[in-house]
Chain A
Amino acid sequence: MLPLSLLRTAQNHPMLVELKNGETYNGHLVSCDNWMNINLREVICTSRDGDKFWRMPECYIRGSTIKYLRIPDEVIDMVKEETIVKNRGRGDMKSGRGGGQGGQNQRNRPAARGNFGGGRGGGKAGGQGGRNPPFQKQKPKQ
C-alpha cells in the first residue's frame, strides 16, 4: 500500500500533522496531492512546546515541511485495492530494465559504460570491475 494512497483515503477524516519544526496541526483533511501538500479545515495549531494554541478555519501545509501524519486507525481498511496493479508494474520493470541488465554487466562486460538502462546499477558495478584487476596485479609486486 502506498502512503499517498492512504493519505488520499483519509480525506474528510480528522488527523494530526506534525511539522519538522515541531508544530502540530489538528484538523480535517480536505485535500492532498502527490507532493503531500495538504489542505486542512477547522485547525488547531499547537506550538513546539505545546504551550501556545491557535485556531484557524483552514490552512494549507507544504508537504516537504511535514514530519509525520497521525491518521484514524479505521482509514487503513478503507483504502481501495490498487496495490495489486502497482506491484505488477514494479515486477515488470525489475526484469525489463535496470536490475536484470545491471547483473549482466557486472559479470560479462566489466569496463562497459553508458549502456542504456543499465546506466545506474550496471555502470557503478562496471567501474568496480575495471578497478579491481590492476589492484590485484599490484599485489604480487609488493
Chain B
Amino acid sequence: MASGLDAFVNHTVSIITSDGRNFIGTLKGFDQTINIIIDESHERVYSTTTGIEQVMLGLHIIRGDNVAIIGLIDEDVDNRLNLANIKAEPLNAVVH
C-alpha cells in the first residue's frame, strides 16, 4: 500500500503529537502504524511570553499512536523565520 509519507522521507518534517508537542526533524523512516524515525530532531516549545524555544533532541522513534499531523517543512521559508520573535500559545493535548 502506498503511503503519502514516502515522499517525505529524508526531508525535514514537522510532527505534531497528540499531547500537543511539535517535533521537527529529518524523516528517516516509518511503518504501517505510522511509527516514525526522525533524525537530528528538535522540539519547538511555544509560549505567549517569550519566543519559540528550541530543544535539541537527536534521534527519535515516535510511536504512531501519538502522531497527529506530519507536515513537510519548506526549509527556505523555515530558515527565514526569526523564532525568537514568534509568540504563540502552546497546543492543548488531544481530547479522546
Contacts and interface: CB of A to CB of B under 8 A. Distances in A.
Contacts of A75: 59
B28 interface: yes
A70 B29 contact: no
Interface stretch (A1-9, A50-58, A127-135): A1-9
Given A76-B37, A99-B2, A1 B63 contact: no
The interface residues of chain A, by DSSP majority, are classed as helix
A73 B39 CA distance: 8
Interface in A72-104: 72-73, 75-76, 83, 90, 93-94, 98-99
Contacts, number: 68
The interface residues of chain B, by DSSP majority, are classed as strand
Interface residues of A, number: 27
B36 interface: yes
B31 A70 contact: no
Contacts of A4: 31, 35
Top 5 A-B pairs, shortest CB-CB distance: A1-B29, A3-B35, A68-B62, A69-B61, A71-B59
Given A3-B36, A6-B28, A76-B37, 6 more contacts: A1-B28, A1-B37, A3-B29, A4-B31, A36-B63, A72-B58
Interface of A: 1-7, 20, 36, 63-64, 66-73, 75-76, 83, 90, 93-94, 98-99
